Amino acid sequence: MLGAIIQIIVSGFLIGALARWAVPGPDPMPVWLTIVFGIVGSAIGGSIAGALFGTKIDSGTAFSALLFSIIAATLLVIAYRRFVQHRPITGPDAYRPPEGRPGKRLRDVFGSPAKRAYEREDTTEQLRKLGELHDQGVISDEEFERKKAELLARM
C-alpha cells in the first residue's frame, strides 16, 4: 500500500515536471502543486487513452496513456498560468515572473539584509540625482515631489 502511494507521488511529480517544462517561461509553484497537476493529468490522460485505445495493457497503450497524461497535465499548467497567475502563454510576457506568486519563500518576500541595504543605497543615489535635476531646472517642482514620493515609498 505504501509503495503504491509513493509510486503515485513520484509519477505525479515526473508528469507534472514534464508538463511544466513543456510550457515556456517560469512557473514558480510549490512541489506539491506540481505533484497534484501530474496526478490529475495522469487520471485525465489515462482515462482518455483508455477510452480511445481500450484497457488492454501493452506497450502502445502504456505509451499513449503516458503521452495523454503529459498533455492533460500541460493543459492544467496552462490553465493555472492563464487564470490563476493572469499571465500569457506565449510572447515576451510569458517569460516574466508572475507577481505575487504562491509558494514564495520568506526570503523572497522580505529580502535578505544585503539586498535591502543595496536597495536603500540605490534609492538614496536616485534621490540625489533627482535633486540635482531639480536644482538644474530640468524637472519641475511637481515632478520632483511626485518622483521623490515614489522612491521613498519603495524604501
Residues 31 and 70 grouped into a single domain? yes
Q: Give residues with Cβ within 8 angstroms of 119, minimum separation 6.
A: 111, 154, 155
Instruction: State pLDDT tens for residues 100-140.
Output: 545 444 445 455 555 555 556 677 788 888 888 888 888 88
Domain of 115 in residue numbering reads as: 108-154
Specify the pTM. Answer: 0.60
Residues 113 and 99 grouped into a single domain? no
How many domains in the chain?
2
Give the range among 18-22, 32-36, 66-70, 101-105 with minimum mean pLDDT.
Answer: 101-105
Query: Quick one: how many helices (H) and strands (E) in the chain?
Result: 6, 0
